[in-house]
């Protein structure tokens, strides 16, 4: 049974492609998505693998872990996988905020009551204090709940090619959610001061069907080609598209821990999560296209408690 928890937030700084293989639709290389909702996600193995590599003393001389601690936390190498399980469990990263182009305010951080309720449920499991009183009903069709006029173009909130009627009757709740995320999910470093101030003003709660459509059809699609060296034309078969989660998206992921299971280490569950915190991974890279600057994310660990 898990004995200690944390929540890790991932703020996307450059387009993020964590792929699901060759696609059958219009995009050749789509991103990972949940089966039932089609919301973008990052499967647990991607993030756990990145944490494992970043903390491996053989790969990172600055790692605060010894080789023994590293094996106790993440488990043994593949050839010895049957020896014992690792003490750290990493969950899937789920989408909470999705940036959408706005006629006013440049872009809006959009979410839905469904996404917020899913986060609230997981925050309870992770013992993270999310004490916001969420609305009991979602916005009506073609209505967007906003806090103030930052996203209002005249009498409408215009996102991409769609217009919504602004509703400020829940402005206090939208502001409270935005302020909580600014304080607990976004990095607290100086370069994020502007974004922390803007989040409560540009947070927009949409009907869940409208939000699902945005996260399904408003991701970033990049076209790649390979040129023939001699003719400077596209090589045969060398034209493909990749999908990416846009910059300024916010995801969250639970971390759970037990005491070390290797029979050698005396690390407690809380000590293991403290070791992960001490990695001080303010930023890392996830997914593909690393050599073109893709997948840079800012990380923020929020303290949970005893499970």
Cα dihedral 179, 183, 184, 188 sign: positive
**Does residue 23 lie within any of the structural domains?**
no
**Does residue 186 lie within any of the structural domains?**
yes
pTM attached to this predicted model: 0.91
Q: Are 98 and 111 in contact (CB under 8 A)?
A: yes
Among residues 221, 195, 3, 42, the alpha carbon closest in space to that of 109 is found at 195
Q: Find the Cα–Cα–Cα–Cα dihedral 208, 301, 1, 35, rounded to 10°.
A: 30
Strand-pair partners of 240 = 224
**Does residue 78 lie within any of the structural domains?**
no
Among residues 146, 208, 215, the alpha carbon closest in space to that of 178 is found at 146
Hey, how many other C-beta atoms are within 10 angstroms of the C-beta on 178?
24
Q: Are 260 and 87 in contact (CB under 8 A)?
A: yes
**Does residue 127 lie within any of the structural domains?**
yes
Angle of CA points 290, 295, 300, to nearest 5°: 135
**Does residue 200 lie within any of the structural domains?**
yes
Q: How do residues 90-105 score in pLDDT, each as one tens digit? A: 999 999 999 999 999 9
Q: Using pLDDT thresholds of 50, 70 and 90, give the confidence band for residue 82.
A: low
pLDDT over 70 for what percent of the chain? 96
Q: How do residues 283-292 score in pLDDT, each as one tens digit? A: 999 988 888 8
Q: Which two tokens stand for residue 137?
A: 């009903």
Q: How far apart are CA 31 and CA 97, in angstroms?
A: 17
Q: How many structural domains are present in the chain?
A: 1
**Does residue 268 lie within any of the structural domains?**
no
Q: How far apart are CA 19 and CA 105, in angstroms?
A: 31
Residues for the chain: how many in total?
Answer: 307
Q: Using pLDDT thresholds of 50, 70 and 90, give the confidence band for residue 19.
A: confident
Q: How far apart are CA 104 and CA 144, in angstroms?
A: 14
Residue 228, pLDDT above cutoff 80: no
Q: How far apart are CA 55 and CA 279, in angstroms?
A: 7
Residue 15, pLDDT above cutoff 90: yes
Q: How far apart are CA 43 and CA 55, in angstroms?
A: 19
Q: Which two tokens stand for residue 285?
A: 């890279």
**Does residue 80 lie within any of the structural domains?**
no
Q: How do residues 117-172 score in pLDDT, each as one tens digit? A: 999 999 998 889 888 889 889 999 999 999 999 999 999 999 999 999 999 999 99
Among residues 29, 64, 82, 112, the alpha carbon closest in space to that of 277 is found at 64
What is the reported pLDDT for 198?
A: 97
Range of the domain at 201: 98-218
Q: How far apart are CA 245 and CA 143, in angstroms?
A: 25
Kindly write down the DSSP assignment for every residue of 133-186, as one continuous string: ---SSPPPTTEEEESSSTT-BTTBEEETTEEEEEE-TTHHHHHHHHHHHHHHTS
Lowest pLDDT segment from 38-47, 92-101, 272-281: 272-281
Q: How do residues 189-207 score in pLDDT, each as one tens digit? A: 999 999 999 999 999 999 9
**Does residue 134 lie within any of the structural domains?**
yes
Q: How far apart are CA 24 and CA 41, in angstroms?
A: 19
């Amino acid at each position: 049974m898990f004995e200690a928890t944390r929540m890790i937030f991932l703020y996307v700084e450059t387009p993020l492609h964590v792929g699901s293989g060759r696609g059958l639709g219009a995009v050749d290389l789509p991103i990972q998505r949940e089966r039932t909702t089609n919301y973008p996600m990052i499967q647990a193995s991607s993030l756990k693998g990145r944490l494992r590599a970043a903390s491996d003393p053989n790969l990172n001389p600055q790692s605060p872990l010894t080789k023994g601690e590293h094996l106790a936390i993440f488990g043994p190498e593949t050839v010895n996988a049957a020896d014992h399980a690792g003490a750290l469990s990493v969950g899937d990263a789920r989408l909470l905020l999705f940036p959408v182009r706005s006629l006013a305010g440049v872009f809006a951080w959009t979410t839905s009551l469904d996404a917020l309720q899913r986060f609230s449920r997981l925050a309870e499991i992770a013992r993270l204090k999310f004490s916001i009183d969420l609305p009991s009903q979602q916005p009506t069709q073609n209505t967007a709940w906003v806090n103030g006029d930052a996203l209002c173009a005249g009498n409408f909130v215009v996102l991409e090619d769609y217009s919504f009627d602004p509703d400020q009757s829940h402005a206090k709740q939208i502001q409270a959610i935005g302020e909580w995320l600014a304080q607990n999910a976004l990095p607290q470093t100086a370069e994020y001061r502007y974004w922390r101030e803007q989040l409560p003003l540009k947070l927009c709660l949409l009907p869940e069907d409208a939000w699902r459509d945005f996260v399904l059809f408003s991701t970033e699609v990049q076209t790649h080609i390979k040129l023939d060296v001699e003719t400077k034309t596209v090589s045969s078969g060398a034209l493909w598209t990749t999908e990416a989660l846009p910059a300024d998206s916010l995801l969250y992921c639970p971390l759970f821990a037990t005491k070390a299971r290797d029979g050698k280490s005396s690390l407690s569950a809380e000590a293991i999560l403290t070791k992960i915190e001490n990695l001080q991974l303010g930023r890392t890279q996830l997914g593909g296209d690393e050599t073109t600057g893709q997948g840079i994310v800012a990380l923020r660990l929020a303290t949970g408690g005893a499970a």
